[in-house]
Structures are given as structure tokens and as C-alpha cells.
Amino acid sequence: EKVKEQYAAGRPLSLELYREACRFLPGGDTRTATFFLPYPNFIEKGNGPYLYDVDGHKLLDFQNNYTSLIHGHGHRPTVEAVQKQISLGSAFTAPFEAQLRLARLLTERFPGLELVRFANSGTEANMHALRIARAFTGKSKIIKTEGGYHGTTDVFEASVDPNIKKAGSLDQIKVIPESRGVSANALKDVLVVPFNDIERTRTVIEENYKETACLIIEPIMGSAGQITPTKEYLTFLRDVTRQYNIVLIFDEVVTGRLSLGGAQKFYGVTPDLTTLGKIIGGGTPVGAFGGKREIMELYDPRRKKMYHSGTFNGNAVTMAAGLAAMECYDQDAVDHVNGLGRLFAEEVRNIYHRLGLNMKVSGEGSIYNILFTDKEVRNYRDVAASHEELNKLLYMLLLTKGVFNAERGMFCMSTAMEEADVRFGLQQVETALTQMLPVI
């Protein structure tokens, strides 16, 4: 409470705007994930690795709009591409070249992408991937992991962040709706398996393959706490889904940044379908889904098998922004952010050691999570046991020290950062954890 008071005392203008916003928007915003107590700080602008709030605080941004801003804020080539494009028109009911160029870049980089289509969000991309998997296999069930996040729509809002006391045993995981209003009928199509658990996943597949259209997975579970896969698990999924005619979907909305060709290239496992979002829009709303030609061709209008449209699909501004951002995200840029990420993780471990804390840091590449647990982390339940309240306290303390991360303990690097920025962030983490020692 004391830390909340300290935070609030420095943010009178945010409080004013928050009260005003609550008159027109439930909770003062349109994203549940941006809310925290006592009230969120309103942001005035971003520049490079920094955010500036309306109360005059400068914050080093380890959030990067939930990992979507690979180049931080106001990336020059992206800004110029958007300015140029918007003056020439922002959306046309016709195809145009920038879309083709972004599609070519993505299919050249991601081993699993032969054909690709664009959408407006990662949620939408996953909805369409699911639909085409159903169309292709003639089956309707979906297998997902406990703790796996694939966006905000009925079937995917199953067992994303369940109370593990109510979620049954790992041998028979109960499907739990994430939100009120999720269709109970839709959830009848969903089966949930534990991440990284070959035997239990195999059992669910063998018992249900006749009705199962797809298995969707984040190769690294992001919102669950940056839980990394074993290579054996991903390879097993590849083999078993092939054996049982189940479409394997990698949701690479977040992991798309792990290498030039995402997690599939990094781990050397190629799915049937891939969904993308976040960084490929250069900071504008985007989603993409694609994969094997024989599957994606169902969308070819000449074949009239499936319908997929959307007023802003592949719109000119997003395509221009995405193309500029992705062209700049070359191998050097990947090495830069992943290098910063690994430095971050290594130094966080050194901090734990200096403070005598038996804690974990999870993740890979440029995204990591501080975990208040001493357990080995293989699946959602291992992380769910870590302390949510402590992560919230760390988040609030860091905000008062000029560092913005995600409330759940996530830290994400951008190419706008240099080593000195990361080291500044680490210093603040050490000071905050030192202050927290009496309660950890």
C-alpha cells in the first residue's frame, strides 16, 4: 500500500485523466491488460527505448506494447514509410505491392510459410488458422496447452490462466473458461494438455485424434511466463500430429522475433500453419496466418472453398510499416536484441545470487520473465505457483524507479536499447528486489 501511495503521489495528472476516462470507457481503457491498481499512468509519447508519461516521468520501456515494438518507439524508417504511404492512401479495396513484398519477406524467412494471408490482430490470425485447419481435416476439435494464450475469442479463452485448484489433475485437465460470456458450447471443442509433457499430450491425442482438427501451441509460452519448450517436446508434436492427421499450428505472434524465422527456425521444427502478429506490423495493428500451400490454397478465390475477408486486411499503412520494420529486423538486429536479452537474464541470475534469492528467470532470445519460484519451470502450473502479488509489487516499485515492464514480470528488449539501458534496468531491478527482501 505504501508503494502504491508513493506511485500515486507522483501522478496527479494521470489520476485526473483516469477519472475522466472512466466516464466513457469501462475501467478507463479498452484493454484489460493495461489496468493496474491504483490506476495506470497515462502515456504522453514514446521515443526510442523510452516512454514519457503525462506527469513528466521518463520510463525505460521493457514492455514494448507487449513485445510488439521490436524497434521501440518512433523508429525512423518505419515513421517515414508510414508518412509516405498515408499521404498516398491508407487502404484500398484492391491488392498492392507492399503487401506482396511483406508476404515475400515472411515466406522467405519462416520455414513453415509457403502462402500467407494478413489480418488485423493475432487473435484474428488464430481464428482463421483454426478455421482452415477444420476445413482441411474435416474435424472440429482443438488441442491447446494449459496456460497457452492465443487471443480473445471463445475457443482460445479456455484454461489460459486458470485457478489450478479448480483445474483438475494433470492427467485430466479441466477446460476452464477465462472470462464470463465464453460459450460453453464452443469449449466442448477444446482439449487441454500440459506443456512439455510428452506422455500426457500423447494420451489426449490418441484418445481424440478422430475428432481433432489442430493442435495449437506457442513454441515458448509467453503470457504463462516465458516457459521454454524442450526440443523433444516440439519434435514429438511434429511427429504425432503428422501421424494422426492433425494440423500443427505454431502461434508465433510473440516468438516470431526469436530469429529471422521465428521459433520454428530457432528450434528446427516446422509446423503446418504459423500465425504471426505484433512485430510484423511495425507498431500498427496486424495479424498474419499461413503455412503449407496445400492447406492455404483453400483460400484461393478461384477454388471458392473458403471465404476470408476484412476491410483492413493487408491495409497499406500496416503493410508499409511492417515492411519497413521487418527489413530493419535483419540478422544483426536479431543478434543485438537477443544479446541484450541474454545479458539481462545472466545478470538477473547474478542479482539473485548476490541477494541470496532462490528464484528463476525464464525465457529465450529477447524476452524474459522474473519468477518468484525456486521450482524448475516446465509448464503453466510450475509458474502459477509463483507469487502474483510479489510480481505486482516489483512492477510498482520499478515504475517509481523509471522502468516499465509487464505486471506479470516480463521484460522485453528492443533494438532501440543499448547495453547501458539494460544495465540501468538491471540496477533498478536489484534495488527493487533488495527493498522487497523482507517479504520474499
CB of 104 to ligand PLP, least distance (A): 22
Reply yes or no: is the peptide bond before residue 38 cis, omega within 30 of 0.
yes
Which of 42, 149 has the CB closer to ligand PLP?
149
Closer CB to ligand PLP, 265 or 401, in the complex: 265
| Dihedral (CA of 314, 318, 322, 324) sign | positive
| Whole-number Å distance between alpha carbons of 440 and 435 | 10
Question: Residue 122 interacts with ligand PLP (CB under 6 A)?
Answer: yes
| Nearest residue to 38 (alpha-carbon basis) of 5, 72, 77 | 5
Contact positions with ligand PLP (CB under 6 A) in 6-35: none
Note every long-range contact of 231-237, with CB atoms under 8 Å and residues 24 or more positions apart, other chains counting. 231/267, 231/268, 231/269, 232/198, 233/195, 233/196, 233/197, 233/198, 233/201, 234/267, 234/269, 235/269, 236/198, 236/201, 236/202, 237/201, 237/269
CA 230/CA 253 separation, integer angstroms? 19
368 is catalytic: no
When computed from its CA atoms, the radius of gyration of the chain, rounded to whole angstroms, is 22
Piece in contact with ligand PLP (CB under 6 A), picked from 16-24, 78-86, 182-190, 216-224: 216-224
Phi, psi of 118 (to 5 degrees): -105, 155
Determine which residue in the list 119, 237, 253, 390 makes contact with ligand PLP, applying CB under 6 A. Answer: 253
Q: Looking at 54-62, 70-78, 120-128, 300-308, which segment touches ligand PLP (CB under 6 A)?
A: 120-128
Give yes or no for a contact between 352 and 362, defined as CB atoms under 8 angstroms apart. no
**Across-strand partners of 116?**
290
Closest separation in Å from C-beta 111 to ligand PLP:
19
Confirm or reject binding of residue 222 to ligand PLP (CB under 6 A): yes
Query: Rounded distance, CA 376 to CA 373, Å?
Result: 8
Piece of the chain touching ligand PLP by CB under 6 A; list 167-175, 217-225, 236-244, 411-419: 217-225
40 binds ligand PLP (CB under 6 A): no
By the rule CB under 6 A, 121 interacts with ligand PLP: yes
**CB-side neighbour CA atoms (13 Å) of 261:** 18
Q: Is 274 in the site for ligand PLP (CB under 6 A)?
A: no
Question: Rounded to a whole number, what is the distance in angstroms from the first to the last CA of the chain?
Answer: 16
149 is catalytic: yes
Size, binding site for ligand PLP by CB under 6 A: 16
Which residue out of 66, 149, 233, 368 is catalytically annotated? Answer: 149
Residue 7 annotated in active site: no
- The residue range among 18-26, 143-151, 301-309, 384-392 that interacts with ligand PLP, by the rule CB under 6 A, is 143-151
Nearer to ligand PLP, 34 or 427 (CB): 34
Binding residue for ligand PLP, selected from 39, 66, 110, 352, defined by CB under 6 A? 66
Nearest to ligand PLP of 123, 196 (CB atom): 123
Give residue 11's identity as a one-letter amino acid code. R
**Nearest to ligand PLP of 284, 428 (CB atom):** 284
x/- track of binding to ligand PLP for residues 300-339 (CB under 6 A)? ----------------------------------------
Applying CB under 6 A, does 251 fall inside the site for ligand PLP?
Answer: yes
Taking the complex as a whole, the smallest distance from the CB of residue 303 to ligand PLP amounts, in Å, to 28
Q: How far, in Å, are 176, 192, 218, 251, 333 from residue 188 at the CA level?
A: 11, 11, 21, 21, 43
How many whole angstroms separate alpha carbon 213 and alpha carbon 199?
20
- Out of 146, 218, 382, 407, the only residue in the binding site for ligand PLP (CB under 6 A) is 218
Query: What are the cell numbers at 191?
Result: 482439449
For the beta carbon of residue 222, count every other beta carbon within 10 angstroms. 24
Q: Is position 267 an interface residue for ligand PLP (rule: CB under 6 A)?
A: no
Site for ligand PLP in 145-164 (CB under 6 A): 149-151
Q: Does 407 bind ligand PLP (CB under 6 A)?
A: no
Nearest CA-CA partner of 414 in 70, 158, 140: 70
Give the footprint of ligand PLP on this chain (CB under 6 A).
66, 121-123, 126, 149-151, 218, 222-223, 251, 253-254, 277, 287
Residues annotated catalytic, as ranges: 149, 251, 278
